[in-house]
Structure 1
Amino acid sequence: MTQTVICIKWGTRYGSEYVNRMNRAIKRFNKRPTRLICFTDDVSGIDEDVITRDIPPVNLPDYKHSPPFRKVTLWQYPLGDLEGDVLYLDLDIVICGDLDRFFDYEKGEYCVAENWTQIGKNIGNTSCYRFPVGRYKHIFDDFNADPAKIEQKYGISQKYISDAVGKMVYWPADWVVSFKHTLLPPWPLNFFKTSKPGPNTSVVAFTGKPDPDEAMVGEWPVEGEHWKKIYKFTKSCPWIEDYWLDN
């Protein structure tokens, strides 16, 4: 049976190379047949063996946080021909191990990484989650009916999803890790050391900045409050090139 991984790409922040690298990493690491479906507003440059679909419509509020809420559209049902458990991955992640076990773990449940900055607060980080298509269609339906109300209450989509889902199952902590909150050495050691994923890690999430291509060469863009450069720093991380760039 073919497993399904999905992602979403809109706008210009992440180009087609992010989709293609994800697709090639899935093929490199997974032993079972796995397809990647990319929901996008621009198919140019995406490899032919990636299945592309139009982003399903969603009623977005005109607030500063609304673009991330676009991901809520993937909770609607029907969602094309998708059924059963589907694994979602953000584009700004690095795959460094197999994803097959993500389809075996707690089948039929909503599985997600526990948000690294809110441990114990029942909030999942939606960089990497698996969900049974259709079971939680109320997440989309309720948001689409009154997006401004939900955006104002929750601010970001993963807080809303965590509250609306109710029961969550967290991935084992070493399966999905954060570059900034798990791997990056604490200040001031980050100026002198780097850390790479452990042998049991399959996904490294790059939330906010830096993106994988930036961390790879030791760049951490900081906008506005430049004093943050005092602690927002990473040395170059060659391991990203090993996992992320095409071999």
Structure 2
Amino acid sequence: MIKQVICINWGTKYGPRFINRLYAMVARNITPPFAFTCFTDSTEGVRPEVDCQPLPELDFVMPVNTKGKWPKARLWSERLGTLEGPVLFLDLDLVITGNLDEFFTYGGPDEVILSRNPAKPFERVGQTSVFRFPVGKLVSLQKTFLANPQAVADEYRYEQRFVTRNAPGGVDLFPKRWVQHFRYQCMHTFPLNLFLTPRLPKGTKIVIFPGGVHPEHAIQGGWVGREGWSLWQHLRGLNRKHKDGSRWRYLRHYMKPTAWVRDAWRE
């Protein structure tokens, strides 16, 4: 059976650079045959191996002042372009560090399976940066969401919590070691982050980058808005005004350049 990988792109935040790198990482880490489909509002600059299909149309007003990526609700339609059966969704800004084949054989083909969310250790909530689902299985979620998008977003805040709590038949979670959160599970805690390069835990297949830190930031080191800063530059900026808030938060927001991210995040 062909392995179906999908992603979604809208606006200009990511675009072809991220799409093309994601395709290349998938191709290097999967056993053919596979298909890679990007649902996007622009095909300009996207490499020809990517099957670009239009964003599924939905008539709704996006929730405001919520942190979840609610445009992903487009993926919950009864039909998803020309695709059928189980698909593995990947965020555009993740890094693939191991073989993906087991993501397609874990559990049953009719199950909804999410990666684990280390940001909520005391709440069994999945992470939709990496998740597998059969096309059409989540249409009931879409109907509930479209009936009152703002109310759903206000209640659940994040679309991944909404999926975890309401997917028909419930959800399963991929093994913990397969998907790691860069900030929470790869970066060292203060003060070790000042001296040690972020680690790649053994057995990791995918590293996700929620929260504003992208692979490019990890490659350059420093932090968002301070890309490429040395430790000395970082410490010198401690007493300046900055958007990190407290000095404690500022000190935690530093990382050394990470070569393993550079080696993986490429075409």
C-alpha distance in structure 2 between counterparts of 1:75 and 1:32, whole Å: 26
Deviations 1:68-111 (A, max 9, x none): 10001101111122221110000110011111110000022111
Percent identity over the alignment is: 33
**What is the TM-score with the length of structure 2 in the denominator?**
0.87
- Partner in structure 2 of residue 167 of structure 1: 170
**Kept in 2: contact 1:95–1:203 (CA 8 A):** yes
Q: Partner letter of residue 215 of structure 2?
A: P
- Partner in structure 1 of residue 201 of structure 2: 198
- Matching residue within 208, 213, 222 for 1:210: 213
C-alpha distance in structure 2 between counterparts of 1:29 and 1:114, whole Å: 21
**Kept in 2: contact 1:32–1:100 (CA 8 A):** no
Gaps of 5+ in 2: 226-241
**Kept in 1: contact 2:116–2:179 (CA 8 A):** no
Deviations 1:202-238 (A, max 9, x none): 1000011210011111032267344332211111101
Q: How does 1:18-167 map to 2 (within 5 A)?
A: 18-58=18-58, 59-65=60-66, 68-107=69-108, 108-165=110-167, 167=170
**What is the TM-score with the length of structure 1 in the denominator?**
0.94
Distance 1:54 1:5, change over 3 A: same
Greater Cα radius of gyration, structure 1 or 2: 2
**Alignment coverage as a number of residue pairs:** 246
C-alpha displacement of 1:113: 1.3
- Partner in structure 2 of residue 237 of structure 1: 258
C-alpha displacement of 1:191: 0.7
**Kept in 2: contact 1:7–1:38 (CA 8 A):** yes
**Kept in 2: contact 1:76–1:139 (CA 8 A):** no
Q: Partner letter of residue 146 of structure 1?
A: N
C-alpha displacement of 1:120: 3.8
Gaps of 5+ in 1: none
C-alpha distance in structure 2 between counterparts of 1:96 and 1:62, whole Å: 34
